[in-house]
Homo-oligomer: A and B are copies of this chain.
Amino acid sequence: MRASHTIRGNVFYAQSGGVTAVINASACGVIETARAHPDVIGKVYAGRNGILGALHEELIDTTKETAKSIAGLRQTPAGAFGSCRYKLQSAEDNPKQYQRLLDVFKAHNIRYFFYNGGGDSQDTANKVSQYGAQIGYPLQCIGVPKTVDNDLPFTDCCPGFGSVAKYVAVSTREAALDVASMCETSTKIFVLEVMGRHAGWIAAAGALAQEKSGDAPHIILLPEVPFQKTKFLKKVQQTVNNKGYCVIVVSEGAQYKDGSFLASASASAGGKDAFGHTQLGGVAPLVAAMIHAKFGYKYHWAVADYLQRAARHIASAIDVEQAYALGKAAVEFAVEGKNAVMPTIVRISDRPYRWKIGEAKLSRVANVERKMPKQFISADGFGITAAAKRYLAPLINGEDYPSYKNGLPQYVTLKNILVKQKLPKKW
């Protein structure tokens, strides 16, 4: 249904920030739904490398892709159009960027901007919406949530998280069986490093590997709980004494009381990203070496890094479904005439798991980080509570296997044909 105040126009869709196993499922939801609303929506243009695609007038014409290719996005990880780490400044500090963006939108009759990203991106989408209103250009900006970190407010969960959570839970269960097999004469310590810069949601998901109390992982190091070396080493030793081995899941964002990252001390850590965030990594070898230095236990460690967020082969069916539904809802919001909002996931019940689409204002979403609540963290700080498990468990439910050929998943590669440029390159 077309709202009376909508204007038929084209869509600009962009992927932003770190990609996920299901961000393309959201793209699929946006494009398929847009195609179903030809009365309101003309073409869907996707930004080549996210918002840069708008600034550089590099617009991918998704109408050149077959329905089969677009459907294939649902089972393809990472960003099919390219993503970017690039944050617009405020319109006051850098009005030229906004002017350019709107010039490109005008030149291509773009009336709808769907920004598929995390907190930074929702902030940008909000600013673009404000700028459009300011200059009197009719533009509807709708956020499509995405982040493996699960740290956006107002939505019960974030697309991308459920699949990483499933990857981490499955991998932890598997690796724990391995070390349990080896511990008598060999490896007694296994440390798995997972993502999550400031929020421990991903590390917490490792606990889903437990079937009963005392199962691996025995220790989870969350960014929300200041790291205490002595207490940690004592727990490791107790676990090895009781179980014969100890499995640890550590968040890349694990930190000391003063807020400094454990990973900062690691020689393997790199520089800073475009947002000024420190590039983390290498906390697993550090933690393993710390244990070895104290007790001499033989150890193994793994750093999952991109493998975890790209692991479409073990994606959560719920996550895929929600990612698609949020892309679809974003288009429906636009068709209904909404602006500066983001569709969200609203949980109706845990068991059976039921959810629906909700709505949040972009102005409220922007740049708010949702950490693990205190009641989700166990008393000793090394695990999660039953409440946390009730929250997490449904998000990894169901398998949504991609199709395979010759033993490998068949991920689509789009043609990504650019629209003819209309504006000068320089701005």
User: A residues touching B (Cβ–Cβ < 8 Å)?
Assistant: 15, 18-19, 21, 49, 52, 76-80, 82-86, 166, 169-171, 173-175, 177-182, 184-186, 190, 192, 208-209, 267-268, 270-271, 273-274, 279, 281-282, 284-285, 288-289, 292, 298-307, 309-314, 316, 393, 396-399, 401, 404, 406-409, 411
Contacts and interface: CB of A to CB of B under 8 A. Distances in A.
B173 A411 contact: yes
23 contacts: A77-B178, A78-B180, A80-B181, A82-B181, A84-B186, A166-B407, A170-B313, A170-B408, A173-B411, A174-B306, A174-B409, A174-B411, A267-B285, A267-B289, A268-B301, A270-B298, A271-B298, A281-B300, A300-B305, A304-B307, A307-B307, A313-B314, A396-B406
A299 B270 contact: yes
A184 B49 contact: yes
Contact of A173 (B52, B82, B83, B408): B408
Given A80-B181, A85-B182, A302-B306, 7 more contacts: A79-B182, A170-B313, A174-B313, A174-B409, A281-B300, A399-B407, A401-B401
A314 to B, nearest CB: 6
Please indicate which of the listed interface residues A18, A21, A274, A310 has the most CB atoms of chain B within 10 Å of its own CB. A310
Nearest to A392: B407
Contacts of A80: 181
A306 B85 contact: no
Nearest to A19: B181
Given A49-B184, A273-B298, A169 B306 contact: no
A406 B397 contact: yes
Nearest to A209: B408
Contact of A279 (B83, B185, B298, B316): B298
Main SS class of interface, A: mixed
Given A186-B274, A190-B306, A302-B307, A19 B178 contact: yes
B282 A409 contact: no
Given A78-B174, A174-B78, A268-B268, A83 B19 contact: no
* Residue of A84, A181, A284, A401 ringed by the most chain B CB atoms within 10 A: A181
Contacts of A82: 180-181, 184
Contacts of A404: 399
Nearest to A268: B285
Contact of A407 (B76, B270, B316): B316
Given A85-B182, A305-B300, A306-B190, A397 B407 contact: yes
A21 B181 CA distance: 12
A304 B271 CA distance: 23
B174 A307 contact: yes
A250 to B, nearest CB: 13
Contact of A52 (B184, B274, B284): B184
Contacts of A274: 185-186
Contacts of A78: 174, 177-178, 180-181
Contact of A289 (B79, B268, B303): B268
A147 to B, nearest CB: 14
A166 B173 CA distance: 19
Nearest to A286: B268
A398 B274 CA distance: 41
A301 B312 contact: no
Contacts of A208: 407-408
Contacts of A316: 407
A290 to B, nearest CB: 12
A393 B406 contact: yes
Contacts of A311: 171, 174
With a 10 A CB-CB cut-off, give which of A300, A307, A406 has the most chain B CB atoms: A307
A122 B399 CA distance: 39
